A and B are shown apart, each in its own frame.
Chain A
Amino acid sequence: MLNTGKKETSGLTTNNSAHGRISNLSFITLAMLGVLVFVFITASLLVPRFFDIRTMANLLVQQSELIIIGLGVTFIVITGRLDLSVGGVVALAAVLSSYFSQAATRAEFSLASGLGLPYWFAVILTLVCCMCIGAVNAFFIVKMKIASIIVTLGGMSLARGIAMIIARGAQRNVGLPPEFRFLGRFTVVGTINLSVIIMIVLFLIALFVEKKTIFGRRLFLIGANKTAADLSGIKTGKQIAQLYILSSLLAGITGILMASKFCSGNSSIAMGYEFDALVITVLGGTSIQGGFGSVVCAVIGAFILGILSTSANMLGFPPASQLLVRGFVIVIAILAQRYALNKRNV
């Protein structure tokens, strides 16, 4: 883990405090990594065919889309805010990227007729539209000072609603250009596809931004005390607005990738992704109160959740009990984090 390497060198800092030598964040990250390893080993032992390169690869592919969204959501949660619009934006991006690039016939069946734009242009236009949803969120949160949970709940309905209108509540999968399939069909090795590559690249960029840039540092300052951040000359409104636009952009990228993979612009994909993204974020150890967390946590959370779902599937649990197990694990994990941090900081 990158953030555990904080060496403390001088007499001042090596003086052993009650906390030992690693920060609270590294502590939680390591603890959740431990949980991930435990879950992984347990699943490997108990679930037949789990410990298999193909299962692993599938897990990676499945979770990478969620992780891309989770990166933006983590940044927003670190500032002490929420973004519940991401699932809707994924669907919007999927539908728009299809609609923009579908051949412009004058067919009777209007779901088969789009704008006929070149695919690259359709992608850009889709991302711009998604960023507009983020901008709407930002406007209400920053300028109108409305709680982010309310605003983004509205943003979720707005994005999903537009997607449903354009796809008539169904999907657009006729008359797509051949390039449309390219992104989703592109694989490196086995089933490792483009979304895994994009996820890894974006994760590394996000990690760098979080640890090494002023932009990343401001996330923590805003989350820890927004008033103090304002009085320290940080333009908190601007930064929060940028984050919502960024989060929608990441959701847009995910939507385009998913549409390409399924070769269809379906208005009901990514249902509940906004909550999954939030779950992996807090499951990894990021605090919903803000000022504490990391994108590393989101990745760890995503794999813990992924292993649980995969194992439950492979063991043939019915979906209802899967949900129950999931809810149970999330509550336990978050309680355990609280407990551990309290113990540590007495």
Chain B
Amino acid sequence: MNSTDDKILKIQNLVKDFPGVRAVNDVSFSIKQNTVHCLVGENGAGKSTLIKILTGAFIRSSGKIILRGDEYEAHNPKEARNRGIATLFQELNVVDELTVEENLTLGIEDSTFGFIRRSTKIKRILETLKEIEPSINPKHKVGRLSVAKKQIIEIAKAAASEAEIIIMDEPTASLSEKEITRLFRIIKDLRKKNVTVIYISHRLDEIFELGDMVTVMRDGKHVETKPVSEVKGRNELIHMMIGKTVFEEYVPRDTASLESLLEADGITNEKLKDISFSVKKGEIIGFYGLVGSGKTELASALFGIDQYKGDFIYKGKKLTGGPSRAINSGIALVPEERRTQGIFPILTIRMNIPAMNMKKITKNHIIRDWLERKAAKEYIEKLNIITQSTEKDVRTLSGGNQQKVVFAKCLFADADLLILDEPTRGVDVGAKSEIYSIVRQLSEAGKSIIVFSSELQEILYSCDRIYLLFDGELKAEMRNGPQIDSKEIINIATGGN
């Protein structure tokens, strides 16, 4: 085969400028037909911008894109789709009020005299959905499905469309292990059907499992494009992404002798079944479980958001009341959904950071600007939040930096117990390792931390003691350490014995 022929997409000297920032800086690489081409890089490396140019959301500043030998430029997602490029966005694009079937066929309905007709096209989409996730009933309202299942619907839609290139922007961020396995099978099948997949993920293991080629970007520049088979392990990839090695191995400590901080006794509600556990001062506790295992529900109960039976005894006293009571007694929460629960997107970093403890920026009940600015600067530096100014709206920051703002909020509240619900979801590797090191520093300083996560790596990297949750029940408790068997953990967390 001619070597120029099998390149379906060629990107040449692509540049995208934003006021003050060159988001994509002279990037050139090619994508081979019928491959899974992975795109990796930290948040802010320029991947999203590059993708948005491909899908028509942004217009490039200069450079060329060649699709199948023809010049390519899209001004909106529809134009991109017409040229054969479909995209699976990170944010869900489903309509809760409609049924699964209606969602899948939205915008592509065939009609006869204005009545919607079930064409073969629709049948094919439904078949694809069934292949990926047989448990979804096409007649059900989408609003009743979990986030993971909503995402699967989107995947089915993109997979069934007659696209030549499908761009997937972190499709597995909220999927369980089982669902991920199914998705990967589908992606591998797509390759056989003459479809090229551009796959973006922060989970590096997925790259090795799925990818044929990988392109690494850093600071808007192209670092390297090579076959995944030639990459020697995660460390090499991480090294290319950030130029330094991260994730120092965590040495769990023996915490048996520490003073107790929190005792949970028989916590029960609609989702949780008689959960009892304990947290000691300065300890990092991990709750591992799949999506839907009750992690968020347990965090919500502890923080006073959800009702429950049973007792949380914190510093010798029973916890009652809602979040404001919890914060006053020294508990802070980094919630699961950063964008809808954690940050105040349209407000500045300066206004976000003190939100949990505004008394600290007042003197005689009056907000003092200097205290507020000092606090903002202090935490921007402490947590290494990348921004030009304290006056930037938080929505303009990258995901990792937004998450650091949420952390700053919690740290500013001077809590003794931090509840972290999926603390690094959608966060790049660099920010991830920074967040882990923040967690460790906090525990060194005597703060206790509870991490709820569906990423086992995360739990193993950061926790002293681990609890396993499955279907609202506490299945096991174990001490972290070299003896730990991740296969056994996954077995328990997926409902095995």
Contacts and interface: CB of A to CB of B under 8 A. Distances in A.
B344 A234 contact: no
A213 B367 contact: yes
A105 interface: no
Interface string B53-92: 0000000000000000000000000000000000000000
Contacts of A110: none
B395 to A, nearest CB: 9
A212 B19 CA distance: 32
Contact of B389 (A8, A211, A233, A235): A8
Contact of A23 (B327, B366, B391): B391
B2 interface: no
Interface of B: 18-21, 303, 305, 322-324, 326-328, 333, 335, 340-348, 351, 355-356, 358-359, 362, 365-367, 369, 373, 377, 380-381, 388-393, 396, 409, 413
29 contacts: A6-B369, A6-B391, A8-B390, A9-B373, A10-B377, A12-B377, A12-B381, A13-B373, A15-B389, A16-B388, A17-B389, A17-B392, A18-B18, A19-B389, A19-B391, A19-B392, A23-B391, A213-B366, A213-B367, A217-B367, A220-B347, A224-B346, A228-B343, A228-B344, A229-B355, A231-B335, A232-B355, A234-B355, A291-B346
Contact of B324 (A15, A16, A221, A233): A233
A99 interface: no
Contact of A217 (B327, B358, B380): B358
B18 A221 contact: no
B356 A233 contact: yes
B197 to A, nearest CB: 31
A50 interface: no
Contact of A231 (B21, B323, B367, B392): B323
A230 B18 contact: no
Interface of A: 6, 8-10, 12-13, 15-19, 23-24, 211-214, 216-218, 220-221, 224-225, 227-235, 291-292, 345-346
A54 B366 CA distance: 39
Contacts of B305: 230-231
A18 B344 contact: no
A291 B19 contact: no
A224 B388 contact: no
A23 B348 contact: yes
A17 B343 contact: no
B344 A221 contact: yes
A233 B323 contact: yes
Candidate in A24, A230, A232 with the most chain B CB atoms within 10 angstroms: A232
A225 B345 contact: yes
Nearest to B334: A231
A224 B326 contact: no
Contacts of A224: 344-347
A6 B391 CA distance: 10
B327 A233 contact: yes
A109 to B, nearest CB: 53
B373 A233 contact: no
Given A15-B388, A213-B366, A346 B19 contact: yes
A228 B342 contact: yes
Contacts of B393: 24, 345
Contacts of A18: 18-21
A213 B365 contact: yes
Nearest to A9: B373
A212 B370 CA distance: 12
A19 B373 CA distance: 18
Given A225-B341, A230-B323, 19 more contacts: A6-B369, A8-B390, A10-B377, A12-B380, A12-B390, A13-B377, A13-B390, A214-B359, A220-B344, A224-B347, A227-B341, A228-B341, A228-B344, A229-B344, A231-B323, A231-B341, A233-B324, A233-B326, A233-B413
Candidate in B355, B369, B380 with the most chain A CB atoms within 10 angstroms: B355
A279 B477 CA distance: 60
Given A10-B377, A17-B20, A228-B344, A220 B351 contact: yes
B326 A232 contact: no
A181 to B, nearest CB: 39
A212 B346 contact: no
B261 to A, nearest CB: 19
A217 B351 contact: yes
Contacts of B20: 16-18
B123 to A, nearest CB: 40
Candidate in A217, A218, A220 with the most chain B CB atoms within 10 angstroms: A217
A9 B369 CA distance: 12
A213 B364 CA distance: 10
**8 interchain residue pairs of minimum CB distance:** A18-B19, A233-B327, A224-B344, A233-B324, A232-B355, A17-B388, A18-B20, A15-B388
A80 to B, nearest CB: 11
Contacts of B324: 233-235
A346 B341 CA distance: 24
A231 B333 contact: yes
Contacts of A234: 324, 355
B366 A225 contact: no
A17 B358 CA distance: 27
Contacts of A211: 367
A269 B220 CA distance: 62
B340 A227 contact: yes
B58 to A, nearest CB: 10
A4 to B, nearest CB: 13
Contacts of B365: 213-214
B495 to A, nearest CB: 31
